[in-house]
Amino acid sequence: MESPSISDRLLSRRRLLQLSGLSGLGLVLGGCGTSLYSDQVNSVFEPLNQSVEELLLNPQKLIPNLPLSAIEPEALLINSFQGTPKIDPQSYLLSVNGDVERSFTLNLAELQSMPSTSMVIRHVCVEGWAAVVQWGGVPLRDLIALAKPKPGAKYVYFKSADGYYESWDLVSSMHPQTLMVYQKNGQPLSPENGAPLRLASPIKLGYKQSKWVTEITLTKQLYPMTGYWEDKGYEWFAGL
């Protein structure tokens, strides 16, 4: 699942603008000139395929944010099936690909230049602990929309640098509070908690929330290996 890497930083900014035009989302990137942006929107706009468009237009029910005072910094235990992988944030790339019109890769600076969201939610692990956490990052739905899923794409696979893997249904992936985060409790995300980039969402159990995500792949089918813990017998949907 190779996709062209954005090597030139200037080009990449332009490419992001093109992608945002294609998405129909009207993303305005921080620090970018708006004149280039409006040129791109008018020249390259194409509607999204129906199902993703519907998901964008009919936002799902939001989980109420908890107050900042509810954050429990000590309660979030580190869970890792085999330690923290070494990732150089300078050379890190997120790849988005699969059954999409436009595969792309983004580096951390590019991800951090996209509009971000913050939320305070409860993380729940099946092992019997929970923690209120503030997370900050990019809505996964924005990345999915940039990639323009092909009609029939219904699942989203996540590959992690430690060999962990997960799959989600598209609807849960498009939930406005399903985020790819690089920030936790007001600080940059720590390596143990999944830096440079991890999933965070109030609608799924902890094991669905992959840390150290390097690749997001849209698929039309659910393949036999659905997730690291699921393949050991845990429930796939794992909704909260």
Ligand X SMILES: Nc1nc2c(c(=O)[nH]1)N[C@H]1C(S)=C(S)[C@@H](COP(=O)(O)O)O[C@H]1N2
Minimum gap (Å) between residue 211 Cβ and Mo ion = 11
Check binding of 215 to ligand X (CB under 6 A). Answer: no
Phi-psi region of 7 (alpha: psi -120 to 50; beta: other; left: phi over 0): alpha
Identity of the residue, 148 or 198, whose beta carbon is nearer to ligand X in the bound complex: 198
Do 216 and 138 form a contact (C-beta atoms < 8 A)? no
Which residues does residue 104 pair with via DSSP β-bridges, in sequence order?
96
Residue 233 makes CB contacts below 8 A (sequence gap 6+) with none
Check binding of 194 to ligand X (CB under 6 A). Answer: yes
Tell me the number of residues near Mo ion by CB under 5 A: 4
Task: Identify which range of 55-63, 72-80, 98-106, 172-180 contacts ligand X by CB under 6 A.
Answer: 72-80
Contact residue for Mo ion among 179, 206, 213, 216 (CB under 5 A): 206
Check binding of 125 to Mo ion (CB under 5 A). Answer: yes
Q: How far from each other are the two terminal CA atoms of the chain, in whole angstroms? A: 32
Identity of the residue, 142 or 166, whose beta carbon is nearer to ligand X in the bound complex: 166
Per 3-state DSSP, what percentage of the chain is helix, strand, and coil (rounded to 5)?
25, 25, 50
| Lookup result for tokens 């954050």 | 71
Contact residue for Mo ion among 65, 79, 103, 219 (CB under 5 A): 79
What are the residues binding ligand X (CB under 6 A)?
76-81, 125, 160, 162, 164, 193-194, 206-207, 209-212
